[in-house]
Structure 1
Amino acid sequence: MQDEEDTNGLERGGTAVAETGTDRADAAREAVVEEALARLGLDAKTRLLAGQDMWTLPALPEIGLQSLVMSDGPVGVRGVRWSADDPSVALPSPTALAASWDPELARRAGVLLAQEARRKGVHVLLAPTVNLHRSPLGGRHFEAYSEDPYLTGAIGTGYVTGVQSGGVGTTVKHFVANDAETDRFTVNNRVGERALRELYLAPFEAIVENARPWGIMTAYNQVNGTTMTEHHHLVNEVLRGEWGFDGFNVSDWMAARDTVGDINGGLDVAMPGPRTVYGAALARAVRNGRVAEATVDAAVRRVLRLAARVGILEGAAPVVPEPPAPVDGEALAREIARRSFVLVRNERAALPLRPNGTVALIGAAARDARVLGGGSATVFPARIVSPLDGLTAALPEGTLSYAVGADPATELAVAGQGFTLEAVCRDTDGTVIGTRSAPGGLIQWMGADLPDGVTYDTLHTVELTGTFTPRESGPHTFGIKGTGAFTLTVDGTTYYDDVQRPDKDGPFEALFAAPVPRAQAELTAGRPVDVSLTHVVRLPDDIPMKVITFALAHCAPRRDPDELIAEAARAARGADTAVVMVATTDRVESEGFDRTDLRLPGRQDDLVRAVAAANPNTVVVVNSGSPVELPWREDVAAVLLTWFPGQEGGAALADVLTGAHEPGGRLPTTWGSLADAPVTQVVPSDGQLTYDEGVFIGYRAWERAGRTPAYVFGHGLGYTDWSYESLEARPEGDGTVTARVRLRNTGGRPGREVVQVYLSPAEPDPGRPARRLAGFASVECGPGASAEVTVVLPRRAFEIWDEEAKAWVFVKGSYEIAAGRSIADHGLTAPINV
């Protein structure tokens, strides 16, 4: 918030306190909110708490309230249309942002997203995701920051601060313990109170305290027997009571199931609409005496407060009257990407690339880049810079060659390269009632997001129609993603005319299910053919939201994998450096399902081994949002992790490989094999998933188990070297500790270092982690220069949650503070007593 000049004081509870400009502005908004609330009848109030469609709340003109618009994030702002026709800036994945270890960079990302939201008429961003990487098998980990609650809270605080500085609200999610996807709608996560407080609630608490988010999203799952949308204790007593959260609480989409339980449990808004458990059902519950109207009023007050803050309640000044200065989205996306890349291995100084040396670029992901994860985090950028594009632009002409090598995709993908498509809508008579371009072959129309002139009442069929120009000759496979009646025609031949049924039940099965192959056509490279996929729209009357979603899928001819790998090895043998891109796919990492292993899909491991055997100067670039196993890592010269790098990923990769910029990332989560990972369970038993490991997840669990991962938490290399020279630690009177670290750049070029400070009890305690991240800071300086950073270890670093006392307890005694480059680097230590 922007403070105005402080001019006077207020009496509060008998104590005179200074009244800031923020206090006065908040008080003025609250007065408008109370006046508006007093003018609303019960039916209007309960209607306001129910989504009117997929993304919005209803306007109430009688009080000057406009419709509140929400949109998915967290890497971009999609808006109310799920279409490539409405492009958005696509930033790197949240794991990438966390790998920067830079809350200020996260704040800048948030400012850009606020700019995007305002451009699209969005008032609230459904982000960030601050659940933890409890198990490496979590399918949605790319959308969460880290395995560590402190790092997660710091990055999330920066993100929320940035978004809200642009006058756009956030909803920190998913509150709480939504750390896996399997049976996420119904699973009962059994979490001990200490683990809940010290791990899973901790990022939310830090963000509430330090960033004052305007919203929280409650999760689908249960926690200790109570569904989160009905969790009175965690929402009303902890979130609002202990932490003082004053924002609104929105359900995850379709999570609200019980009118009385939800409103009494602290849920303000049930999404999506128009069919929800609120609205008329909530009004009846009040009139029947099952819900107190004061409870409804409290929820409405919070929604009106949000509306006032974002500037859509008449008479209330928005928190941010003027947006921040414009941000160059492409430049920031490129900067975040290169600062997130983690160089985990660099033998014989394989990187940066030698000037004017020849490079063999290998891998399907180098040409057809995967820049973001699957699911509700998906946005559609106006452009994508692939690694092949980026390196072609950066390297001297004639020094770069390309070979496919091995394709990570083992299934069909949504139609993209080579397709020119539009969606044609018809009524029952076959009359065209509307059209919309569909450049990505994907239809996802939700709520009111229909082509102009089209309504659900008149719509009978949607036809994806256009042309496909193949890049390769041979048998091309076409398929269908979705459920219902379809007709698929390719080059004049109808290959499928039937009903495609789901493999399993679930409200989002059509969104997340794999495409089904339905046709194979022999095509010639460069010769366009007509394609058509027609879907008969049938929407049951009892569904809570109206959604039309399906896609045309495609797979190019499959060449013999051994032949492709041999071709790549020959290309590598003739180059100074071989750069191999390996990747996951949206059938491996996505919302909607968890992983079953950590292996790279397809023959990619075989590809790396063959290339490394042909060229000892092999660099492997890993394009995944979360950990994968790298069984060949000791056989290659360098390994660079690029996460899902966003739309400018290829340009950022060229920056780093050529040495124009150093890789700036450090691991926000531990990378290791599934066999060695201490915590892996994501599949419930009899509907329950028990967090038996307590407070020991991530690096805490690896250290407790005495196992060595492939790459430890916090690890990351740059293009220069650092010497840690001194560490001083001083207790402060408020329970915090100030650590000062002096270090020197001993390498030959400028660089950035992330100084990580870990805290350990001097005497081992089996109930506490051997060490934990307690603070961090970054420093930049030139070769030979030294710098000092100050890291404040918060009081909470010395506290544990006492389950008997149900309170935080400050643990006095002796500790060791270590400053270094990762959890395993204990180069400088200092004892301290608190």
Structure 2
Amino acid sequence: MSPAQYYPNLDLTQHQLEEIDNVVDRLTLSEKATLISGIDFWHTFAIHDPERNIDLPSIRMSDGPNGIRGTRFYNSVPSACLPNGTSLGATFNKELLNQTGKLMALEAKHKGAHVILGPTVNIQRGPNGGRGFESFSEDPTAAGLVASEIIKGMQSENIIATIKHYVCNDFEHQRTSVSAIVSERALREVYLKPFQLALKHANPLALMTAYNRVNGIHASQNHHLLIDILRNEWNYQGTVTSDWFGVYNLYESIKNGLDIEMPGKPLIRDKKQVVNAVMKKQISENDLDERVKNIVKLVYRTKGSGVSENGAEDTDNNTKETSEFLKRLANEGTVLLKNDANVLPLSIEDKIAVVGPNAKIATFSGGGSASLKPYYAVNAYDGISRRYGKPPLYASGAYSHNLLPGLSEVLDNTSTGNKGFRIKYYYTLEDAKANNDDFFFQDDLNESHVSFFDFTKSTKPEFYALVEGEFVPQKDGIYDFGLVVNGTGQIFIDDELIVDNKTKQTPGDMFFGYGTIEEKGSVNLSKGNKYKFRLEYGSAITSTYPSIVDETKASGGFNIGAAIRIDEEQEISNAVEVAKKVDKVIAIVGLTKEWESEGFDREDLKYPGRTNDLIFALAKANPNIIIVNQSGTPMEMPWIDDVKGVVQSWYNGMELGNSLAEVLFGDYNPSGKLPLTFPKKFEDNPAYLNFISDFGDCVYGEDIFVGYKYYEKLNKDVLFPYGFGLSYTTFEFSTLDVILDWEAKQLNISLVVENTGTLDGSEVVQVYIGGVEDSSIRRPIKELKDFTKLFVKAGEKKNTSFTTDLKNAFSIWDNEKSKWFIEKGIYQIYVGNSSANVPLSSSVSIEENYWWSGL
């Protein structure tokens, strides 16, 4: 597909293509060697030479999946935080997803970015994947079609989309070294399929390779993936970038199709080494020219974006319109999973209580490169209070944090009078301890998690920081303080050492696997007293255990937290007493970015701490309990039969609290559907035995039977099936008509959807196709092939139709012919509103075998 179909300003004319060839010819070998890697964390190399008629500005890339961070990890400029990937997938609303891409493009322009590092389309083959929350679905067709709409939205505004991570970056364990051992059929039908569909329907003009190996070879230097399939079979004309620090071999990556190494300064593609390798014929200059040409294409395509070179970042898109759109987006992704006795929607006449460990925490995103600093974030309690018109009764009931809650939000910066702390930077620990005036930089921050990945104020990898603030306890009691560092650090309260993460350190998962575990210490404090908080921090190079020492990452970071120590039984009892006083209880539970993050996978699907005990106790105290689950991927719910309502609220961005209130009170009729199956038990999931690196390998033993395809094939009960979601109204499907147009290579499907309830609402129509009966080839019972969301007023009937190309509808991968194969025979067409509810069915007959390749 030509970009001109959707984004004419990104298309390259024949004249421009010839001009690009001429530019590449005019570049020196040294310039070519420099262009194939970044110059810093976000930017490409620039060449401006009017005499040679070369004008290649530096272009800026920026994360990512649910918002545009900009150029900084350290003290970043706030951005619009969108709902996470699974929430976007749960909307099943193509038009809305296209608008989402447009909003992300607008955010990119406000951050001076030409290229967005997203969307993420990796498959949720296991429900516990650390980055599962970033992805859209366990189903490859859903992931591909969702991504297509977002990409079209981005690129229609002349901002480049980067589809990622190509391919099989589906779990985090040893992700830079593990080899995904996957059959060619599963690779094609499951893991490559989202990329194939996105290239076919939306043509993302950048693509990011994965960290891992695929069948023994790293994805960033894999000839089969990058040349055979991507370039030759799919005729991809875009630019291929590495994931950050995801290049492993100079010669193989250039030869086999990786265009640019990110970030810079390069670890692998050092200019001198590249030049030397070309001079010694270890690298073909033709291969180098091909890499450079694709980078120049990317630069040319960004010239119409309206984004200047090295542009400033701003927060001007923090508008009412942005907020309203993000709230709608969160609304449409929210899934009503259970609603016995119509316990929902709430009424302002109800006497309600809000309880739970997540109630007053703004769980706006998961962790890792998807996280960012939002313009603001509304937590569930505040959103409900605003809609309710008064603060409801509240009790936390339990703790569920992995790390102690962020400390900066409750510290007072005595220098400014604001929340947060003052931080001063020194080149010696002695100067930091002395708190003298020899600091080289000082700042005022209100962030508990501080990353120095891109801290530019220090001219040396070794530096020290003195963090100071004032802590005023709200209650008498023992307070626990916690510290995670990529480096070294010690916390002092009134000059007394409380936490030592310097003399004894243990490696942990934070800071992309380069940080320590959280070290803790406690102290008895009195309500209302003022206590002096001090952190003495040393950069990553001061770490006492083996860590990275290259200057690109050695700057480090820290995470500070604190909480009053609780009596867990008493906290549950307090919540129970609150529950007895009201008509309905809203329990806000789930995970946070500490539990779901890039860098590690979850160990199970259980709720942390005493959350389950809390829910069981609340259910006994009040029959009208509604659970709001905030997580990016499935949870086990052992209390499911004891509660009347369950709402899946995901990590719903900065408007999460306002959105949740609208759904709970019925201002918005829920229409989200699960884009992944919720199993009853963690052990039930298809990847349970194959979701870890064993001696460097992970066998994808479930093969093509991922997600609902596995559960259906084994006839295994699940907690909630794929595509499931309730509404406050009811719908019926009828009048299915299916026409196979072999000449046009299309399958035409139409039906009628009726809203049989009393409220207006939206329903997601899902089309599944079952394979040929008695076929000698293993196939799933049925597979999703298309979907649409339809708004229908109460009592109204609406017609809807689908046109699906036959190649996507019926094909499987033929390993022997290395082509796609449509097998002759009779196929079943199913239409419904979940994988488990397909009330309409029909059949079509394919009269002859058919093979094809390409997109």
Q: TM-score, normalised by structure 1?
A: 0.93
Q: What is the identity, as a one-letter code, of the residue corresponding to 1:455?
A: S
Picking from 523, 526, 530, the partner of 2:525 is: 523
| Paired position in structure 1 for 2:780 | 769
Residue aligning to 2:566: 559
Give 1:155 deviation, angstroms.
Answer: 0.6
Match of 2:699 among 685, 690, 702: 690
What's the offset of the Cα at 1:494? Answer: 3.0
SS at match of 1:520: strand
> How far is 1:25 from its partner?
5.0
Q: What amino acid is aligned across from residue 678 of structure 1 in structure 2?
A: P
Helix, strand or coil at the partner of 2:172: coil
Matches of 1:109 and 1:800 in 2, distance apart?
32
1:282 matched to 2:282: no
Q: Give the letter for the 1:481 counterpart.
A: V
**What's the offset of the Cα at 1:741?**
1.2
CA distance in 2, matches of 1:509, 1:832: 50
The match for 1:788 among 793, 799, 803 is 799
Is residue 508–residue 516 contact of structure 2 (8 Å, CA) maintained in 1?
A: no
| CA distances 1:214-244 after superposition (whole Å, capped 9, x unpaired) | 1111111111111111101110111111111
Change (3 A) 1:5 1:557: closer
1:668 aligns with 2:678: no
Count of residue pairs the alignment pairs up: 810
* Counterparts in 2 of 1:239 and 1:762: CA distance versus 1, 3 Å: closer
The reply on whether 1:678 has 2:680 as its aligned counterpart is no
Distance (whole Å) between structure 2 residues aligned to residue 632 and residue 802 of structure 1 = 45
Q: What's 2:662 paired with? A: 655
Distance in 1 separating the partners of 2:369 and 2:306: 32
- Of residues 386, 392, 402, the one that matches 1:393 is 386
Q: Deviations over 1:718-767 (max 9, x none)?
A: 11101112111000123321110101100001000000111113515460
Equivalent-residue separation in structure 2 for 1:716 and 1:745 (angstroms): 15
Rate the CA distance shift 1:539–1:335 in 2: closer, same or farther, 3 A.
same
Q: Take 2:789 and 2:655, find their aligned partners in 1: how far apart are those partners?
A: 24
Instruction: Note the alpha carbon deviations across 1:358-388, whole angstroms, 9 max, x for none.
Output: 1111112111121110111110112110111
Distance 2:15 2:783 in 1: 43
Q: What corresponds to 1:608 in structure 2?
A: 615
Where 1:477 maps in the other structure, the secondary structure is: strand
Judging changes above 3 Å, is the alpha-carbon distance between structure 1 residues 57 and 664 closer, same or farther for their aligned structure 2 residues? same
Mark the CA change 1:387 to 1:393 in structure 2 (over 3 Å): closer, same or farther: same
Matched with 1:407 is 399
Cα separation, 1, equivalents of 2:427 and 2:317: 46
Q: Is the contact between residue 409 and residue 448 of structure 2 (CA under 8 Å) also seen in structure 1?
A: no
1:728 paired with 2:737, answer yes
Q: Which runs of 5+ in 1 are unaligned?
A: 7-19, 318-322
Contact 2:244 2:262 in 1 (8 A): yes
Q: Would the alpha carbon gap of residues 600 and 226 (structure 1) be closer, same or farther in structure 2, given more than 3 Å must change?
A: same
Partner AA of 2:84 in structure 1? S
State the match for 2:435 in structure 1: none
| 1:504–1:83 CA distance, 2 compared to 1 (3 A) | closer
76, 81, 85: which is aligned to 1:90?
81
Q: Give the aligned residue type for 1:797.
A: A
Stretch moving more, 32-41 or 491-500 = 491-500
In the superposition, relative to structure 1, how do residues 469 and 32 fare at CA in structure 2: closer, same or farther (>3 Å)?
farther
Which residue is 2:639 aligned to? 632
Q: Which residue does 2:852 correspond to in 1?
A: none
Give the secondary-structure state (helix, strand or coil) at the position aligned to 2:144: helix
What amino acid does structure 1 have at the position aligned with 2:831?
A: A
Alignment check: 8 A CA contact 1:421 1:464 kept: yes
| Distance change >3 Å, CA 236–CA 478, structure 1 → 2 | same
Task: Give the 3-state SS of the residue equivalent to 2:359 in structure 1.
Answer: helix
In the TM superposition, 1:345-744 aligns within 5 A as 345-397=338-390, 400-419=392-411, 420-428=420-428, 430=431, 431-447=438-454, 449-450=455-456, 454-457=457-460, 460-496=463-499, 499=502, 503-504=506-507, 513-517=516-520, 519-537=521-539, 539=541, 543=550, 545-672=552-679, 673-680=681-688, 681-732=690-741, 733-744=743-754
Decide which moves more: 44-53 or 739-748: 44-53
- Structure 1 counterpart of 2:283, which letter? V
Task: State the Cα RMSD in Å.
Answer: 2.7
Compute the displacement of 1:479 (Å): 2.3
Structure 2 length as normaliser, TM-score? 0.90
Q: Secondary structure at the match of 2:683?
A: coil
What is the deviation of 1:33? 2.2
Contact 1:198 1:801 in 2 (8 A): yes
User: Does residue 44 of structure 2 align to residue 45 of structure 1?
Assistant: no
Q: Quickly say closer, same or farther: Cα 1:513–1:753, change in 2 above 3 A.
A: farther
Q: Return the letter of the residue paired with 1:291.
A: I
How far 1:523 moved relative to its partner? 2.4
Distance 1:87 1:526 in 2: 32
CA contact (8 A) 1:351 1:657 kept: yes
Aligned partner of 1:752 in structure 2 is: 762
Q: Give the C-alpha shift of residue 716 in structure 1.
A: 0.3
Counterpart position of 1:17:
none
Q: Distance in 2 between matches of 1:76 and 1:246?
A: 26
Q: Give the CA deviation at 1:476.
A: 1.6
Deviation at 1:808, TM superposition (A): 0.6
1:668 maps to amino acid:
P
Gaps of 5+ in 2: 310-315, 412-419, 432-437, 543-547, 847-855
Letter in 2 for 1:682: F
1:813 aligned residue:
825
Is contact 2:687–2:701 with CA below 8 Å preserved after alignment?
A: no
Q: Shift of the alpha carbon at 1:576?
A: 1.1
Deviation at 1:442, TM superposition (A): 2.4
Aligned letter for 2:473?
A: P
Q: Give the residue type in structure 2 aligned to 1:760.
A: G
The structure-2 alpha-carbon separation of the partners of 1:495 and 1:636, relative to structure 1 and needing over 3 Å to count, comes to closer
Distance 1:731 1:427 in 2: 73
- In structure 2, the partner of 1:13 is none
Amino acid at match of 2:381: L
Shift of residue 773, structure 1, vs aligned partner = 0.5
Task: Name the % identity.
Answer: 31
Q: Match for 1:133 among 124, 139, 148? A: 124
Instruction: Check whether the contact 1:418–1:471 (CA below 8 A) recurs between aligned residues.
Output: no
User: Distance in 2 between the 1:24 and 1:179 partners?
Assistant: 32
Q: Distance in 2 between matches of 1:832 and 1:461?
A: 70
The farther-off stretch of 579-588 and 779-788 is 579-588
Partner of 1:530, secondary structure, is strand
Distance 1:113 1:313, change over 3 A: closer
1:149-164 equivalences in 2 (<5 Å): 149-164=140-155
Instruction: Give deviations 1:262-287, integer Å, cap 9, x for gaps.
Output: 10111111122213211222121111
Alignment-mate amino acid for residue 373 of structure 1: G
1:217-256 correspondence runs (5 A)? 217-256=208-247
Residue 586 of structure 1, CA deviation: 3.0
Pair 1:199 & 2:210 matched: no
- CA deviation profile, 1:765-824 (whole Å, cap 9, x unmatched): 460001010111121121110001102233222111100000011122211111111111
Per-residue deviation at 1:683? 1.0
